[in-house]
Amino acid sequence: MKKYFPKNSPPKNPFVVLFLVALGLAVATLLFRPDLDLFKDKAPQPISQSELVRKYQADELKSIQIKGVTVSAEGVDGQKYEAIKEAYATTADLGLNDPIKKTKVEIIDTSDEGCGKTF
């Protein structure tokens, strides 16, 4: 004689149920941890040129990258900042040339970008 079970019967093995519940809790814990930055905005925070110089003088920046008119910086806390400078302003004009500071200042040459190949 054949036994018939309802279509919505629970799984027979309780270990499978416990495993699935534990897996679901582990995934939920990983996704909603406050220190995990999966859902944080990765775009740099716009900042004024004077605020950037203030952070530089206060040693709140780990590195600064100057590329064209864009000045990108990373804070010691990992926060990224972005400022716009005048086209011909130098690091001395910006106040970013103090050799005593720990902040690494890098200038990226953009003189050959945007024109394509020259023959």
Domains of the chain in start order, with CATH, are 45-108 (3.30.720.210)
Residues 96 and 52: their CA atoms lie apart, in Å, by 9
Confidence of residue 109 (pLDDT cuts 50, 70, 90): confident
Question: Mean pLDDT highest for which of 33-42, 67-76, 88-97?
Answer: 67-76
Taking all residues of the chain, what is their mean pLDDT, rounded to a whole number? Answer: 80
- What is the β-pairing status of strands 80-84 and 70-75? antiparallel
pTM given for the model: 0.58
Q: Is 16 helix (H, G, I), strand (E, B) or coil?
A: helix
Confidence of residue 82 (pLDDT cuts 50, 70, 90): very high
The secondary structure of the chain in percent helix, strand, coil, rounded to multiples of 5, reads 25, 20, 55
